[in-house]
Amino acid sequence: MTLRWGLLAAGSIAEEFAAAIRESEHGTLAAVAARSADRAAEFAARHEIPRSYGGYEALLADPDVDAVYVSTPHPMHAEWAIKAADAGKHVLCEKPLTVSAKEAERVIEAARRNDVFLMEAFMYRLHPQTRKLTELITAGAIGEVRAVDVTFSYDTTGSERERIADPALGGGGILDVGCYCVSVARLVSQAATGIEAVEPTDVIGMAKLDDKGVDEIAMGLLRLPGDIIAQISCGFRLQQDDHIRVYGTRGQLYIEKPSWTFGMRRPRTSTIVLTPSGGKPEAIEVEATKGLFAREADHVAEHLTARQSPIVTWEDTLANIRTLERWGAAVRTP
């Protein structure tokens, strides 16, 4: 089957997604919309997209668009994901799906009501590296999991994009990249316990907020099912190594370059280092033939009739956003 995509917004991640559709097996680019017609037309010319629209409503009225990729700043995700679902379009919406759990419930309800597919675009969850990590945990490669350490940050000092620091555009590290840290920590707990869509019992947080209350740097501690403690760290004014470490009773797993760092690069192999307690590190190579975003577009096509992804389920999205809300509140509590 072929899924005809419409891009709702023409920003930086839309550029990557558009390029990736070319490598997908099931996707074609049907149309793009931006708030300005000129910007949409330029984007369409660059990516050889047949139709472009100045305004998102026109894209939703296009009968030759099957699925919409929503990549506005996060506070506008709910409005456009709901409108897309109400227009009968399948929806892949950038992370975080929404800025609150209440909004996420409304988006999910819209997908259910209109009987369309909906997924939050956590493409790293679909990568073979992530699958291998969970397989190793489930197989007991490091014994019982005790702790997780996940970091994702970048430093925009001097080259800041408006979206990242503007409270009106959902600025702050927690929503932008901390959502990955929470997602990974929860996934590790899920793999260790077999409980779906797990949520922490305790959330502790601390942040450096700017003068508008936007979290520039945030750290958190989560107590997760399986008696697992996660330390998570993110920010947009902090240069640290993005990594995943999982510590167990019989060893540890280390991912120096989580798949979300690949962007449009498509390394054929990536590595997970398994170090048994008292033993030597062993590099486990993971093969991947497809890029992250092409994989994501094909995943949508392959699971369209189920209306949700078996990997990034609606319940999982809700659990993630609820945890993000708690982390956001914890760093703002004196």
Ligand X SMILES: NC(=O)c1ccc[n+]([C@@H]2O[C@H](COP(=O)([O-])OP(=O)(O)OC[C@H]3O[C@@H](n4cnc5c(N)ncnc54)[C@H](OP(=O)(O)O)[C@@H]3O)[C@@H](O)[C@H]2O)c1
Q: Which residue is nearest to ligand X (CB)?
A: 11
Task: Kindly tell me the burial class for residue 117, based on how many C-beta atoms sit within 10 Å of its own C-beta (0-12, 13-18, 19 or more).
Answer: buried
What x-and-dash track marks residues 230-259 binding ligand X by CB under 6 A? ------------------------------
Phi-psi region of 227 (alpha: psi -120 to 50; beta: other; left: phi over 0): left
Q: Does 74 bind ligand X (CB under 6 A)?
A: yes
Strand partners, 225: none
35 lies in the site for ligand X, by CB under 6 A: yes
Asked if 76 is part of the footprint of ligand X (rule: CB under 6 A), the reply reads: yes
Taking CB under 6 A as the binding criterion, the range among 34-42, 141-149, 182-190, 326-334 that sits at the site for ligand X is 34-42
The span from the CA of 317 to the CA of 120, in Å, is 7
**Is there binding between residue 32 and ligand X (CB under 6 A)?**
no
Is there binding between residue 72 and ligand X (CB under 6 A)? yes
Nearest in space to 260 (alpha carbons), one of 120, 170, 104, 153: 153
73 contributes a contact to ligand X by CB under 6 A? yes
Site string for ligand X, 94-133 (x = CB under 6 A): xx-------------------------x-x----------
Contact code string over 147-186 relative to ligand X, x by CB under 6 A = --------------x-x-----x------x----------
Nearest alpha-carbon partner for 222 in 326, 116, 110 = 326
Token pair recorded at residue 286? 């993971």
Indicate the residue among 113 and 161 with the shorter CB distance to ligand X.
161
Nearer CB in complex with ligand X: 9/185: 9
Which lies closer to ligand X via its Cβ, residue 136 or residue 292? Answer: 292
3-state percent helix, strand, coil for the chain, nearest multiple of 5: 40, 25, 35
Contacts of 120 (CB under 8 A, 6+ apart): 93, 94, 95, 96, 97, 312, 317, 320
Token digits of residue 162: 């408006």
Contacts with ligand X by CB under 6 A lie at 9-14, 34-35, 39, 71-74, 76, 94-95, 121, 123, 161, 163, 169, 176
